[in-house]
Every structure is written in structure tokens, then in C-alpha cells.
Amino acid sequence: MKKALIAVVVVLAVLAVAYLGGSWYFSGLIVAFTPNSLAEERLKDGDPQDYGLPAPEEISFQGDGVTLAGWYFDNPADGNCGVILMHGINGNRYRELKYTPLFWERGCDLMLYDHRHHGASTGDYGTYGFYEKEDGLAAVDWFAARTGLPHERIGLQGESYGAATALQTGALDTSLAFVAADSPYRDLKTIVSDQAVAQYGPWMKVLVPGALAVSGLRADFVPSQVSPMISAESLTEPVLLVHSTSDDYILPYHSEDIFAHLPETTCKQLDLTDWGSSHANSVNDNYDAYKVLVDKFLNDCVPGFGTATQ
């Protein structure tokens, strides 16, 4: 009996060590991932001039304990509007260039910056909006001071990780002109669970709680508080959600759940594109149709934002 008990204890100890080891390993994939460099994204996405933009002004500003780097574009058309664009995970400012014509043509000044732990910005970890939303507020303050625009004339646009960050930032500053979110996740636990199962199999469901707990300890944040869906309940500015029905990375139900949590009084628009686009590629696959969606939203929900287009 004593030997059997010892054997059980040894097995449990080995399992505990294996679980902690696995949790540590996967926490690294969650918060300490290695993003693409500026040069890598430039090769894929091109230069600002390819999108009809002038040479950018290189900028930096202080976020929540980090230094954030990016670009500022001063629009000579003076549309009395501005948009801050937020990129997806592993990317940087170059990835957001594809969205810039949507707002540049309206005469808006633009700001694109690298999230913490991305591009030329500092930071050892990515926290999916927990700290990034505070960085977003710092970006809004910097942009408002640089342009002289009130917050009511500044909109946020984001893709995937950046879309989730934009939604969480907008919940903290509801005076903004709008939040446009392309392919956001509803909360960190769900997207981590979805991706873990998709990439490694159903057994990962057992490891996800441990990996998230260790992620929180390593990056000093609370994973359960990362929820654009819950943040949506506090959004009073206009909100646009776009998601491809063919997205198999972040499934469209994430945007549907976020949309369902927006207040009834919020001017909102949900567009599920059926163009066969992969994750966050709707704007690439059918720019003209995508522009129609954005223009409709801005003309209906944010009238007078820049130069209206039809």
C-alpha cells in the first residue's frame, strides 16, 4: 500500500511539473512571441507612397511604461479630422497602410504606430489590449496635441489585435468620433482556446488555463480582463465592425458577439463580408466594396467627418 501511495505521489508530481512546464512554454507563445520586423512588413505591404501618402514624419511618444514609435501624416486637404490606425499581432505600422486611403481621401490626418513589443516600440510582452488600451489613450492625447483636433474629431481604426485594442481604448474614451474594428476577437481566453485547439488539438483545452495564468504572471496583467466584448457595453461612440465570413483564424462569431453587446443607443454597423477573404484581408480583396461599407458608416453615423464621399 505504501509503495502504491508513493507511486501515485510521484506520478502526480511528474504531471504537475509537466503541466507547469507546458504552461510556461505556451505562455511564451502567448505574450513573448517574436513579431515581424519593420523590414519584413515593408516587403509585404509596401511603402506609404504606394498608397498615395507623402513621406511620413517619424514620431515617438510615451505609453504606459514603454516608448511607442510610429508615423504621422499631415493631410494638406485639412479635412478637420484624424484617424489613428492600429495593426494586428506580429505586425507593425506597415500592415495598416492598406486602410489609409479610406481616410486620407477625406482629408484626415493620420497616425500609425507600433504596439508595445512590436516594430520599433519597446516592451517585452504583448497583452492583447490590457496595457495597449492605455497606450491607445496616450496615442490619442499625442495626436490631439499635434493636430489641434478635439477628441470628437479623432477616430480609431484597427485590425485583429489592433481592432480589439481600439475597442478597449474606445471604451475608456467615449468622446472619440468612432471606432472601426476589422476582425477583432471577443476576449483573450476564447481566442487563445480557439487557436490552441486548432493548432495542437483538443487536449490543449486542459493546458489553456495554466498557460493564461502563467502569461498573466510573466507579463503582469489579468488575462480575464481582456475582453473587447465586455468593453463594447461601454462604447457610446459610433462603432463599425467588419469580419469576413471565410475567416478561419478569428471566426466571425467574435464580431457578432461584440456587436450584440453594444448599447442600443450606439450608432453601429456590422458587415460580414462574403468575398472569400482570409483573416483581415477583406480590404485587400475588394477595396472598392470595402470603401462603400466604410463610407456608409461614416456618412450615416459620423456625418461631417472630413470630406464626405459617396
- Are 87 and 130 part of one and the same domain? yes
Its domain, for residue 71, covers 41-187+226-301
- Are 230 and 206 part of one and the same domain? no
- Are 243 and 161 part of one and the same domain? yes
Task: Flag whether 4 is in a domain.
Answer: yes
What is the reported pLDDT for 271?
A: 98
- Are 172 and 250 part of one and the same domain? yes
- Are 214 and 231 part of one and the same domain? no
What is the reported pLDDT for 285?
A: 97
Give the pTM.
0.95
- Are 161 and 289 part of one and the same domain? yes
Q: Are 231 and 167 in contact (CB under 8 A)?
A: yes
Task: Flag whether 81 is in a domain.
Answer: yes
What is the reported pLDDT for 307?
A: 84
- Are 253 and 273 part of one and the same domain? yes
- Are 122 and 168 part of one and the same domain? yes
What is the reported pLDDT for 121?
A: 98
* Mean pLDDT for back-to-back runs of 10 residues, the chain (310 residues): 64 66 92 98 97 98 96 96 98 98 98 98 98 98 98 98 98 98 98 94 92 97 98 98 98 98 97 98 98 98 83
Structurally, the chain folds into a number of domains equal to: 2
Rounded CA separation 202/140 (Å): 41
